[in-house]
Structure 1
Amino acid sequence: MQPAGPEPHPHSRPRPAHWLATAAALAAVLAGAALAGPGDATATAPAAATAAPDAHAARYPVDCGSAGPDVVRQAPADLDGDGRPETVVVVRCPSGAGTRPSGVYVLAPPAAERGAPRVVATLVDPREKMGVTGLEAAGGTVSATLLGYSAASVPRCCPDMRRVVKWHWRDGKFVLTAQPVAGSV
C-alpha cells in the first residue's frame, strides 16, 4: 500500500545537525558585526540629568571652629535657567542652647569633576544675626522667612521679628524683594 500524498523529501525534515549549522552561522554573523563596530557612524546617548550640588560636600564661609557648620535646610532648583540645578542651603554653627545665626548660600556644581560644590552667592550672611525658616526654591526664585531680634536683650531662643523675603534671579544676580511686615498694612 502506498502512502497518501507525495513522499516527503529527506532534506525537508530538520535534524539536530541543521539546527547546529544554523546556530553556528548566526553566531559567526553576530561576532563579525561586533568586531567590525559601527564604522563611521556616531550615536550619542541622551544626556543624563545633572544632579544638584551636594550641600554636605561644600565649604561655607562660616567659622564654626572644629565642629563645622550644620546643613539645616536645602532646596535644589535651576535658579539661573541654564538647565543645571543649583542648591540653596541654610547653614549654621551647632549650639548647645539658643539658636545660632544662619547663613543662606547658593551652591553651583563643582568646577572640576571631583571638586566640591562652589558657593556662588550669599543671600543671608550669619553676621546679620538672623534665623531662617521656610526655605523654598523654584524657577528663578528663592523664598524664605527671616527671624530676627528687636533688641540685644531679647533671648536668642525667641526671635521677636519675622519677615518673608524673596530673591529673584535677574540680570545675572539675585535681587531681594521683602514682603510687607505682618501687621504693617
Structure 2
Amino acid sequence: MEFLKNKSGISKQNKMIAIGFGLLSLVFIILMASSKSFFDWTFLRHQNVLSWWLRPLSLIPFCYFAYKRNPMGISVTIFLLLTSMAWFPVPSEVNEQVKGFLNVEKDYLTSTWTLGKILVSSMVPLTMGFLCAALWKRNLKWGIFVLVVIAFAKILWSITEAGNDGASILVPAIGGLVICIAVVYYGFKRAEKRKAQ
C-alpha cells in the first residue's frame, strides 16, 4: 500500500526507509569505532581491490537517486557504499602498496581525533552533500565538478598521508571518476531529452 505523498512529492514510506538505512549506516560506523575485531575483520576484506573499484562506482546510483530526488535510494546507496569494504573475501595475495596504504588508513582512523583531523574528515560528508544538492537541483556542471573534487581530494589525501603506498589508489580513483562522469553525463542528457519531448 503506497503512503500518501507530502508537498515535496516524497512518500512517507520513502522517508521512513531512508531513515532506517541512515540508522543502519550509523550502526556500521559505531561498530567500526567500538569493536576492534569487527574493524580488523572489515579491513582484512578491504584488501580486496574489487572493493576499491566498487566504492567510486557506487557514486553512480547515488547521483541517479539524487537526480530523481529519492531519499530512500540515496540512503540505501550510502549504506552500501560504507559496507562495500567488507563484501569481498580476503584475497590470497595482497600487493605491498595496498597493505601499506590500508595500514595508514587504519592508523588514521584509530589515532587521536584532533580538531584538524575532524575538519579534514568532515569533507567526506560535506562533498557528498554538495554532490547530492547539485544533482537534486539538476545542475550537471556542478555535479561533475564535485565528482572531480571528491576524486582528487581522496588522491591528494592518500599520497600526502601514505606517500608511495597512497599511489595504489590512483587507478581505481581515476578510472572510477572517468566511468562515473561518463555515465552521469549520458544519463543526465538522456533524462533531460526525455523531459523535453
TM interval, short-chain normalised? under 0.3
| TM-score, normalization by structure 1 | 0.27
**Larger RCO (CA within 8 A; separation ≥ 6):** 2
Under a length normalisation based on structure 2, what TM-score does the superposition of the two structures give?
A: 0.26
The structure whose Rg is larger is: 1
Query: When you count helix as a share of all residues, which structure comes out higher?
Result: 2
